[in-house]
Structure 1
């Protein structure tokens, strides 16, 4: 069965006024000792040139960790793609884990990004073994933009929705900073799947594990809620992540996707209500349905809940306690404000966007919610994003963080997914520095579960407690000296008091001495090669270089750029002496030729040697 409950903010509506109120509706599949459902899973992994080096290494290690966590009744397939789409593991039960992992270890980076081809092959494999009693899922991982095959985001998003209707749901995972977040989020939303931003290459295994935990916890799917609003009630906005449509009666039909064991599915609604008199005021009927696990099989269940608000005097409304829902509603309200602010900023309305975020900060503080550490962290995030938007310096990394935080907060209630972000705060480079702690308190910024946290290092303090700290000056590994720290009202976290300085101890390298500089400018001269590719220096990292691949084109060997942002079909001036079919190279710079439709390799050329997972325990 599905349990429902609801609450409002304010908890009591004011009589005789037309006002906006936020309603929080909760849905939970109440299924005791639900058995683990078997998985029918396809991992689709980008192996294009931009994944070369550490990204592909960690992605494949993450895939191996998935194999370790699956069981014999699960079905697994693995697809990799660059120009070509290759099947590493055809659909099969996970009975020989060593063989599956050995197959993964033979994968190497290649060319350009045929995202659609890889993803559709994964969908095909899941469809082959489709079983409504299993969780049927494609996990699509990429670090770049689709530049081969179907590239139109609208087509890919619509197709993701179509595949979901056929029973194949897609979860998308964006790796590092080069992927198209609008495409991956759009596909996940259309498919009612999940989306993850893997910000640091070494957290890939952790993110994969979060998704596997989620899949094992699915106890209900296709949760739909129809709102039958009473007279005088208007739906202003939906605060949760959902697909919304209208039925023949003009009522809103809200699709919320999956239900997870032990986890509430939240639906936040912003309503406009005319509260005429003191007493109970019916606001709506909720008609809900879902496919849930009952007696070890999937069954359809449905129900109706009457949503009734309490109307009181101004005094009753002012003093009514609503703390039980303030935190959950605040998370949704914060996420919605971030989404709205980004949309405004990208339409040139930066001042309006900043105002929305700063007004919300003031509202949260006025409600005393800054005494809750999670909301205090969100306030720091809001201030960070408001400042970046106002200065028009949000950037690629900031945009991805903001959209990821919005998606997770509006979709799930897992605290390990909320507020993730590890981008270095720009203001750390301009901070005043000291070289000893003196009478102050020493702090350090560390990365925990995809979040930058600040802890106390000085003796006499609880090193396990978090410190509320400005987001704009956080950077993993950085140390600080502050005048003092004090406990929050409930004693659960610390607050900084006084001046904040960055600590740079004598004899230690200062890695935050200046903003990260781009690669030094090359001479701009065309590259010259030695006698053969074997004579080239080698590297196993791309860093700020450009990745080039040698491919067979008819009877000729030609070089092409496979790094994102370049035209993969353009010819390239590249030393013939070092060309070997399939080989990858890293060059300092790529210039556009005089004809405007070809490239010239410039500066030093290195042969790219791919790291292997074979000997890693």
Structure 2
């Protein structure tokens, strides 16, 4: 795994408080072998009454395509839910694909929406698979890992509605996802159509360090599910985390990326990054408070430890990187020129925050406020693009074009549609910043 850092300013004034923005670039290794660890995918499918017809039929077609891409050694499970949960495909190796396909095709719509019943039942299925040894797959004892649990799993939730039965509290759902992720179970959510609760599904994805995707129709849902399977099959790193350790008196003022983070000791914060696929790139942006430095010269203000578990060998790795600034006299520091790439990223992430506020406004039906925040998003992106050229500017131009389309849709489409589109875009460009652009199911 590659890790490098760019500072907004690499010099600070002697005996003066300052702030330093740090832009981190991560790049996962590229898989050079066709061998991969068996994957575990647990699908949680909403079959409530609102899914009847094209939505459920489209989801089933996507799941059929998913099964056909997996290997017999991969683990797959399917739980469906309405007012209750039902295990349609018990989680386990895909040794009988034809039987699994028949069970998927036989799913029929039901009643109300109790997502908690489906999610908890799915987590129980994953836990059961984790506890089973691999003797059935490696009868000669050539077991590359003790249990499937060590390789982790992904829970994919597909839902089109607001929860109207069972657990409804967003924070409790997020806590469930966080607890599952602590056991290497990633939670990804696919919001289908325009009736689902984007706040809830987004919170589940954040807590579970997974993705949150919006699909407006069956075709978009199929493409989104295929994208998730791509990531699952190309996964090379599990449970990546970044621990930032600060020098005395230095503090993190802000983590611009909306990622799970917690203090893990005095002057140390750990940020959860989730799993990474082959060759995947990510960007993180931090803002540090640097106190008045009493001595001139190079001073280390923080150190970074990037940790992950490599697949398929399940080897734990750590990469460390010091963060230092040069303390210079005040008149010299006054002549410094901020790094344009870092400054552009700051403006980009401030634009994402405005986009998130736009989504929340559209979700509550406040169109004027939502459009105002989208206008603010565009202005910030204009400023970010003006600082760059080449590939960096091209990426920002694509984001600006997306935001302009969102602004146009805000005058044509229902606010529920725009809310979901902007929320999914925020997730991609803030929480998973740097990951290759996914197909936009909401356009």
Q: TM-score range by the shorter chain?
A: 0.7 to 0.9
Shift of 1:353: 4.5
The aligned residue for residue 27 of structure 1 is 26
Which residue among 240, 249, 266 is the counterpart of 1:249?
A: 266
Q: Does residue 357 of structure 1 match 2:345?
A: no
Q: Distance in 2 between matches of 1:234 and 1:134?
A: 35
Q: How does 1:267-306 map to 2 (within 5 A)?
A: 267-273=284-290, 280-293=298-311, 296-306=312-322
Root mean square deviation of aligned Cα: 3.5
Q: 1 CA distance for matches of 2:160 and 2:210?
A: 18
Give the Cα–Cα distance (whole angstroms) in 1 for the partners of residues 409 and 103 of structure 2: 45
* Aligned-pair CA distance for 1:32: 5.6
Give the C-alpha shift of residue 283 in structure 1. 2.8
TM-score, structure 1 length as denominator?
A: 0.60
CA positional deviation for 1:217: 2.4
Change beyond 3 A, Cα 1:378–1:314: farther
Question: Matches of 1:163 and 1:422 in 2, distance apart?
Answer: 29
Name the TM-score, length of structure 2 as normaliser: 0.81
Equivalence for 2:4: 5
2:49 maps to what in 1?
49
List per-residue Cα deviations over 1:196-247 (Å, max 9, x = no partner).
1112321222111111111122222222222222356442211223211113
The answer to whether the Cα contact below 8 Å between 1:354 and 1:386 also exists between their aligned partners in 2 is yes
d(CA) in 1 for partners of 2:426, 2:235 = 22
Residue 76 of structure 1 corresponds to which residue in structure 2? 76
CA shift in 2, pair 1:361/1:255, >3 Å: closer
Shift of 1:322: 4.7
What is aligned with 1:65?
65
SS class of match (2:265): coil
* Whole-angstrom distance in 2 between the partners of 1:121 and 1:282: 48
Q: What is the Cα deviation at residue 355 of structure 1? A: 7.5
Q: Deviations over 1:93-152 (max 9, x none)?
A: 213322222221112212111211122222111111112343412211100011122222
Post-superposition offset of 1:36: 1.7
Aligned to 1:297, what secondary structure does the other structure show? Answer: coil
Residue 14 of structure 1, CA deviation: 6.4
Are residue 39 (structure 1) and residue 34 (structure 2) matched?
A: no
Deviation of 1:70 (Å): 0.4
Q: 1:266 aligns with which of 283, 291, 301?
A: 283
- Larger relative helix fraction: 2
Residue of structure 1 in register with 2:212 after alignment = 195
Partners of 1:288 and 1:182 in 2: CA distance: 30
Q: In the alignment, does 2:233 pair up with 1:209?
A: no
Could you say which residue in structure 2 is the equivalent of 1:427?
none
CA distance in 1, matches of 2:78, 2:404: 42
Map 1:385-534 to 2 at 5 A. Answer: 395-412=415-432, 413-417=434-438, 420=440, 422-423=442-443
CA contact (8 A) 2:39 2:75 kept: yes
Q: Which runs of 5+ in 1 are unaligned?
A: 424-617
Distance in 1, Cα, partners of 2:414 & 2:251: 35
Q: Structure 2 CA distance, aligned partners of 1:232 and 1:108?
A: 60
Gaps of 5+ in 2: 131-147
Question: SS state of the match for residue 338, structure 1?
Answer: helix
Q: CA deviation at 1:357?
A: 3.0
TM-fit CA distance, 1:281: 4.5
CA 364–91 in structure 1, closer or farther in 2 if over 3 Å, else same: closer
- Corresponding residue SS for 2:149: coil
SS in 2 for 1:211: helix
Contact 1:83–1:114, Cα closer than 8 Å, also in 2: yes
CA contact (8 A) 1:245 1:254 kept: yes
- Asked if the contact 1:47/1:109 (under 8 Å) is kept, the reply is yes
Check the 8 A contact 2:112/2:164 in 1, yes or no. yes
Aligned to 2:160: 143
Question: Quick one: distance in 1 between partners of 2:362 and 2:226?
Answer: 34
The structure richer in strand per residue is 1
Corresponding pairs, count:
414
Matched, 1:379 2:400: yes
State the Cα distance separating 1:25 from its structure 2 match: 1.4
Q: Given that residues 353 and 386 in structure 1 are in contact (C-alpha distance below 8 angstroms), is that contact kept between their aligned partners in structure 2?
A: no
Larger relative contact order (Cα-Cα within 8 Å, sequence gap ≥ 6): 2
Q: What's the CA shift string for 1:574-603, capped at 9, x where partnerless?
A: xxxxxxxxxxxxxxxxxxxxxxxxxxxxxx
